[in-house]
Amino acid sequence: MAKLVAVLMILELTACANNDSESPTASLPGEVFTVNGHELHVWCSGGPGPTVVFEAAIGGDPSLWPIAERIRDQAYACVYDRPGNGESPPPDEPMTARADADDLHELVTTGAIPGPIVIVAHSYGGLIALIEAVEHPDDVAGLVLIDASHPEQHRRWDAIMTPEQRKTLRAGLVNFPYVDFVTSLDQAAADFGPLPPIPLTVLTATRPSEGDACGGLPCVEMQRIWLELQDEYAALRPDARHVEAATGHYIQDEDPDLVVTEIRSLLALVDQLTGANG
């Protein structure tokens, strides 16, 4: 089981934090907003500059939150707990990427989080960011996708796997009590296509799991497909920036300086575009 968990962590398919764990911001002042029947805890501070919203991986993984602290001098940075994560109560039924995007849209629409926003999204959070940008383009001023989940990942991985390997891969999905990940992939697939004219940066992890850590899965081939999928994300905008990192899936943990630098660069571009249009 440990081997399976190791490979699923690298390839996105793991809950990145314990849903029952205390939010890292629990001791900080924040606000509670009820949107679409969900009570969400939101923490925003910093500025002046664009609003940046951080979308974590499944499970409310807090690894992006130290990054948020580092860019508060250049932006109004917001982190929040999605339903079932950290300080936010669990939903009545599993969430999907579209439902999470609807919650984010409502936060922006009501002014709980001032828009338009730059979304910095890791892993599953990338599906939320994609749907939000396509379905609510006025909400979004820019995207930074950090080794983001891709709508086609399961279909393309399945094509290279044996039936037993597919079963092993699917076994990891039962760890997600508050998210229907497969439905989320299908929802994002329906929106996958050209993005609105906004700055886009794609950060891709290039170090695969190898040997025993793969748990019998074809990790090297899966990583090759993953890199192709990340190229497809970058192709959604003709002027996108695609940066490959010599890390595993958690780029923000292994190379936080790279993540901060790329966010700052995109924020500077958003400022330029805002000034040019203003």
Mean pLDDT, residues 234-247 taken together = 97
Give the CATH number of domain 2-277: 3.40.50.1820
The pLDDT score that the predictor gives to residue 33 is 97
Mean pLDDT, residues 113-127 taken together = 97
Is a pLDDT exceeding 60 seen at residue 207?
yes
- In order, the DSSP letters of the chain are -HHHHHHHHHTT-S--S-TTSPPTTTTS--EEEEETTEEEEEEEEE-SS-EEEEE--TT--GGGHHHHHHTTTTSEEEEEEPTTSTTSPPPSS-B-HHHHHHHHHHHHHTTSS-SSEEEEEETTHHHHHHHHHHH-GGGEEEEEEES---TTHHHHHHTTS-HHHHHHHHHGGGG-TTB-HHHHHHHHHHH-SPPPS--EEEEEE-----GGGGTTS-HHHHHHHHHHHHHHHHTTSTT-EEEEESS-S-HHHH-HHHHHHHHHHHHHHHHHHHHHH-
This prediction's pTM: 0.91
Domain ranges of the chain: 2-277
Is a pLDDT exceeding 80 seen at residue 65?
yes
Q: Which of 33-42, 53-62, 89-98, 268-277 comes out lowest in average pLDDT?
A: 268-277
